[in-house]
C-alpha cells in the first residue's frame, strides 16, 4: 500500500490500527476512525468546512482553563455526555435514574443536620425537600450521604457569583435510622449554559437557546451501593422539553407543591407560602 486514495484510505488507517497491542484501545480507535471517515464521506466535507472545524476545535480547547471545560460543554450540548451516562448506568426497577454531574460540583460541602438550610440568606422562594433513600426493593438505607448543590434563583452557582458566601447552596446530609432526609433551600430557576465561548457561537449558529430547566443536583451514596449522580427538575419549567444539555428524564421531574398554611411553614422553619418536594432515592446495589 503506497496509494492512499478516496477508496483505500479508510481501510489503510484501520489496518494501521491493527498493530495496537491493547485490544480495547484498538477497538475504540478503529470504531472512531470508521465513524469519523463515514461522516466526512456522507457529507463530502469541503476543505473550507474542514478548516472551520479545525478552528472550532482549537478555539474550544483554548477556551478551557481551571474554571471552565468547554469540551465537556460541547459534549453536553451534542447529547454525547448524556448518552455516555445512559450507557454506563442502566438501572434496575426501583433505582433512581442518573443524569449529568455538570461542571459545578465542588467537593467538601459542609455537613449539615437534617432540616438545615443550604441557602443561607439567599433570597428566593422557600422550599423543603424530604424523602427517603432506599434500595431498589424499598428497604431504607440509614446513614446514606446526600451531597446536594444548586444555583441561586439568579441562575448562578456560588463559584460564579462573588456575592455568595463560601459553599453557599451546597450541603451534605445523612439519612436517619429510617433512611429519611429533609432539608431546606430556595426554589431553583432555569439558567443558560455559558454562551461567551465557541459552544455559545455554535448554539447561536444552530438557532438553539442555551437554557437549562431549573434543577437541584444530588450525589447520593451508601455502603454497598453504587453512588448515584442525578438531578431533580422543577415540574412545569418551560425548558424541560429543550434542556440545552439533554439531561432531563421524566422520572426526575418533581412537583414543587405550593403550601400556603402558615402553621405548616412554621413547622418546617420557613415562611409561607413555601414549596414542598417529596422524592425517594433508590440506590442500585454495588
Residues numbered 151-210 forming contacts with its own copies, rule: CB under 8 A:
205-208
- Give, as ranges, the residues between 215 and 254 that touch its own copies (CB under 8 A): 240-243, 246-251, 253
Q: Which stretch binds its own copies (CB under 8 A): 35-43, 107-115, 162-170, 265-273?
A: 35-43
CB 115 within 8 A of CB 269: yes
Rule CB under 8 A: say whether 43 interacts with its own copies. yes
Rule CB under 8 A: say whether 72 interacts with its own copies. yes
Rule CB under 8 A: say whether 267 interacts with its own copies. no
Rule CB under 8 A: say whether 278 interacts with its own copies. no
- Give, as ranges, the residues between 74 and 93 that touch its own copies (CB under 8 A): 75, 78-88, 90
Q: Which is nearer to its own copies, 90 or 106 (CB)?
A: 90
The C-alpha atoms of residue 258 and residue 239 are separated, in whole angstroms, by 20
Rule CB under 8 A: say whether 266 interacts with its own copies. no
The beta-carbon contacts of 214-217 under 8 Å, at least 24 apart in sequence, are 214/187, 214/188, 214/189, 214/190, 215/150, 215/188, 215/247, 216/129, 216/148, 216/149, 216/150, 216/185, 216/188, 217/101, 217/102, 217/104, 217/105, 217/148, 217/149, 217/150
Q: How far is the CB of 272 from its own copies (least distance, A)?
A: 30
Q: How far is the CB of 195 from its own copies (least distance, A)?
A: 16
Task: Give residue for cell 428524564.
Answer: 249
**Pairing mode of beta strands 126-134, 274-278:** parallel
Q: How far is the CB of 185 from its own copies (least distance, A)?
A: 23
Q: Which is nearer to its own copies, 119 or 244 (CB)?
A: 244
Q: Which helix (H) or strand (E) holds 40?
A: helix 23-43
And the C-alpha cell for 242? 429543550
Amino acid at each position: 500500500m503506497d496509494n492512499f486514495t478516496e477508496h483505500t484510505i479508510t481501510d489503510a488507517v484501520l489496518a494501521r490500527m491493527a498493530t495496537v497491542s491493547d485490544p480495547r484501545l484498538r477497538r475504540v480507535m478503529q470504531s472512531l476512525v470508521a465513524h469519523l471517515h463515514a461522516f466526512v464521506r456522507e457529507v463530502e466535507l469541503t476543505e473550507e468546512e474542514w478548516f472551520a472545524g479545525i478552528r472550532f476545535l482549537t478555539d474550544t480547547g483554548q477556551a478551557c482553563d481551571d474554571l471552565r471545560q468547554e469540551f465537556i460543554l460541547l459534549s453536553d450540548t451534542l447529547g454525547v455526555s448524556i448518552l455516555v451516562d445512559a450507557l454506563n448506568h442502566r438501572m434496575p426497577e426501583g433505582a433512581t435514574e442518573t443524569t449529568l454531574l455538570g461542571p459545578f460540583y465542588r467537593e467538601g460541602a459542609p455537613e449539615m443536620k437534617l432540616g438545615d438550610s443550604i441557602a443561607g440568606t439567599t433570597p428566593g422562594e422557600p422550599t423543603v425537600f424530604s424523602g427517603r433513600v432506599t434500595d431498589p426493593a424499598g428497604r431504607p438505607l440509614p446513614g446514606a450521604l446526600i451531597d446536594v448543590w444548586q444555583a441561586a434563583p439568579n441562575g448562578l452557582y456560588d463559584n460564579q457569583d462573588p456575592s455568595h458566601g463560601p459553599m453557599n447552596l451546597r450541603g451534605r446530609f445523612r439519612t436517619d435510622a429510617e433512611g429519611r432526609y429533609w432539608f431546606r433551600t430556595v426554589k431553583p430557576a432555569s439558567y443558560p449554559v455559558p454562551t461567551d465561548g465557541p459552544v455559545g457561537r455554535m448554539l447561536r449558529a444552530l438557532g438553539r437557546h442555551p437554557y437549562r430547566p431549573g434543577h437541584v443536583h444530588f450525589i447520593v451514596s451508601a455502603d454497598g451501593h453504587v453512588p448515584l449522580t442525578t438531578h431533580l427538575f422543577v415540574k412545569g419549567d418551560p425548558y424541560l422539553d429543550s434542556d440545552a444539555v439533554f439531561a432531563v428524564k421524566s422520572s426526575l421531574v418533581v412537583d414543587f407543591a405550593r403550601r400556603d398554611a402558615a402553621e405548616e411553614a412554621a413547622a418546617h422553619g420557613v415562611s409561607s407560602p413555601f414549596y414542598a418536594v417529596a422524592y425517594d432515592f433508590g440506590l442500585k446495589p454495588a
